[in-house]
Structures are given as structure tokens and as C-alpha cells.
Structure 1
Amino acid sequence: MSGLKTNGVLRIGLIQMNSLPRDPRQNRKKAEFLIRKAALAGADLVQLPETWNTGFFPKEELLSLAEPEDGESRKLLSRLAKELHLAIAGGSVLTRRGNQVCNSFVFYTSEGRLAGEYDKIHAFSPSQENVYLQAGSSLCCLEAGGIRAGALLCYDLRFCEQARLLALQGAELLLVCAQWPRERMEHWRILARARAIENQVFVSAVNGCGCFDGVQSGGGSLAVSPSGEILGQAGKDEEILFTQLKTAERAALKRQMDPLSDRRPLLYAGLCQPAPHQ
């Protein structure tokens, strides 16, 4: 997020948005209103939920609602980032890549430049995301206001390996964008805190709060410190949750204890080998 001077404090606006199913035009209007509101409140970075422009996710209309890589939703985020001089973690946008559709996280700098893109690795099979969407195969780490950040989309949060690999690549913050259902909100809170504690990173986790084909996203967006403290948590309805991440707190914690430096990866590789046949 070049051009911004955060002085060791990153101010994030988590936009817990109620997306209208299958209505990208109205969702773009709402997202613009909320992004502008967060900018006026002093956010350095705003964060949108997964599939904010379509809802999660329109199987029958997938090809018609998915956008090209220069589609209207991306254009909007780039324009607003440059105009408002703030970075935008653009949740995810269903993106056409040839004959495939991907669930794609995008990140724009305060100059409106696309600085990070990530196709969701772990497709949510209970909703047939693995059938309709092409899964990605690469991680995403980027610079966000003087702090290195990694991207996770919804179901990715359940996979500790991905968060650990991002931490080993230097991520100090995990940007989680989701449409997490209301009936599993306790999992959402526990997993966000676990990923923060085990990797000693900040977690900024934004969730949607709309309803799509009878499934209600649960809201409850939250920010977590590297020690697992919940720095702020939203309710179940549409709102912007503001939080401040103080990078010095993470440095102080790592001086006291640094589990990542005590890892024994060569041993783990051996333990993962299949047992020999007797």
C-alpha cells in the first residue's frame, strides 16, 4: 500500500456487507457507499467479504455473472482506491479465465494498482464449489501499509497448512474474506483465533451477512491480535467494523516467544512418511 504512512498503526475498515443475490450492479453501488464511508472515518485499508458483488454463489448464472479480469467490479475498486487514497482488499470476485471461473481475491494499492490476486485454493465441496469453480494453486503474499499480508478465502481458514505457509513467507497479517454461514459461527471465531495464535500474526476476518438460496451468512467479522485477543467484533447485521493493528505489539510478543523459530521441519517430513509394510 505504497504512499500511505501508517507509523506502525494500520487502520482497517472491515465492511460486513449484505450482498443482494445475483445483483452485481446494486452491490457495486452499495460497496462504493460503504467504502467511501470507511474512508471518511480514516481507514487506511478497507476489506470486503467473499463474492460481495454476486453472493455465494450463483451456480446456474455462473458464466453470465462472472466477470473478465478487467470487469466492472475490479474497475470500481481500482478507481476508488486511487481517488480515496486507501488500499482495498477486494474480497473476491467471480472471474472468467478462459472457459473456467475462479473465485478470485484482489488487492489494490492506494494508487489503484492491482498488487495482489489469489484464486481460492480450497473449494467448498458441500456447496459444490469444487464442481463449478476452478481452484487455484498459488499463495498470495503482499505489502499492506508497511505490513506483509497473506490472503485467505473463507473455507481456506480451516486449513492450518495454508496459514502456516503464508507465515513462513513473512506474512504478519492474514486477510480473511468470507461468506461463513450463521450455524457455524463458533468455528469461525475459534479458527480465526487459532490461526492468529499458532502463527503469531494479526487476523482481519470479514464476513458477509446476506442470505443466498436459503443460506444465511453470519456476520461476526473480527480482528484478532497475534496473542489471540479479539480486538473488535461485529454483530450479525450490515456494518463497518473499524480496528487498529499496532505492529509493535507483534514484535514484542515474538521477543518473548517465537515458536516458528523452534520448528523442526525435517523431523515433520519424516513423520509424514507412510509406515513400512510389515
Structure 2
Amino acid sequence: MDFGPLLESLSRPVDIYCERASAAFDAEPLNAISNAAFLIAAYAAWNLRARRPDDSHSAAIKALCILIGIVGIGSFVFHTIATKWAEWVDVIPILVFMIFYCWMILTVFFEWPAWLKAAACALLFASTFYLEAEEFAPVLWGGAMYLPSLFFMVAAGAGIWMRNAAAGRAFYAAAAVFVVSFTARTLDMPLCNDIPIGVHYFWHLFNATVLYLLVRTLILHAPVRSVAASTPGSGSNSVPSGSPRSSSAATDAGIGFPLFPQN
């Protein structure tokens, strides 16, 4: 089998951002350096998780924090190497984060069965991957692939809000920042004549904030599922499965404000 055409395709240079004026490694300094925001977001989310009263989702949240860092590394590779294979190094971690986060939201806040979560995540993956195709590259300057995520955030946010207003507000805060982030990404090329360095780096800064806020929503607002509650002889002080955190638990953990409104 001849892999020549495939390797040639993967090595093809990609020039889709205003800041890049050559094929040099450092042709996009702001777009490359701004990816440090993802590492900062990953570190901040990791530290916040360490102060979480409930540890039932600890492993999944740690994985999300690590994925945020990988997103930044993948994006740095793309904005320096700028080839087709580097573009996939950029896109794949974002897609993995989106799918895994979708699974976690449907698990933590909606308690959907596994088959229904799998179907929803498959739909999100398929629609995103479909819109990543070359024929959709002119749509929103390659940003069409993020429309399914925006739709998911709007729909899921409404459901979360109906279950808990504080969690809904936190989730929609992330969605609002994502709209700003997506706008910056979309306007990079249209504003190129007026702003030669472009505005794509704002996409990185705001998007890192989005990922932090999404993970923060899970850390601070996920209903408690205490192992002790299901353990025989654990006593009446155990927290029932699915119950919200109390403000005192949040304060004891050093967070300093109630995570759920008290009824």
C-alpha cells in the first residue's frame, strides 16, 4: 500500500490565521504563546478540585484538568508547526474534552442511562466531525465544527438550571464566555486588513476560561454522591446520594460561599 499521498497530505502546510505570514516556526507568536492560558486553567481547576468536599467524581475531574493542559499543548503544536497533521493534534484533544465533558454532564446532573449518554455523545461527535470536513472550511472560517458544542451548552444549561439555578448560572456563564471566544475566532480573518496580527489569540484566552468554568461547574455544583451514605453503619450524619452540598460544607472546605441555594 502506498502511503505517500497520505503522508504528503498530512504534511501539507495550513495557513488559516491572520497572524501567520510565513511558514516559520515562530510565525504566530501571539497565537502560540497564548496557549499558556490552557495550562494556567488546568492548574487552577486542579487546585480547586483539591478543595472539593465531595470526592465521588475526583478521577473524572482530574482527567478533565489534564485534558485542558493537553488542549493547550496541541494548539501550541499547531500554531508553530502549522501542518495538516499538527491541525489534528490541535483538534483531537478538543474533541475528546467535549465528548468526555458531555458524558459527565449527562451523568452528574441528568443521571441518564449509559446507552442514552452514549447516543448523545455519539451525536455530538458525529456532528462535530462532519462539520470539520473540508467542504465546511469556509463556514465561519473553519469554526462550524464548534456549533454542535454551542447547541449542547445551551440545551444542557437549560436542563441544569431547572434542576438547580446556581449550577445553571455557572454553566451559562461558561456558555456566555464561549460566545465571546467563538466571536474572536470567527473575526480573525475578516479583521486581518485592519489588525495585521489578528485576534485569534483571544480565542485561546477566552476558551481557556471557558474550559476552566465548565470544570468549575462540576467541581462546585455536582450533587454529592457520598460513599459513606451507602455504607452500613455509617450513621445519620452521612450525606444522602444525590443531595446538594450545604453551605456549611462549602465553607468548611475553604470555598467560602454556598454552592447551592438553601430551600
Between 1 and 2, higher relative CO (CA 8 Å, sep ≥ 6) is seen in 2
- More strand as a share of residues: 1
- More helix as a share of residues: 2
Question: Which of the two has higher C-alpha Rg?
Answer: 2
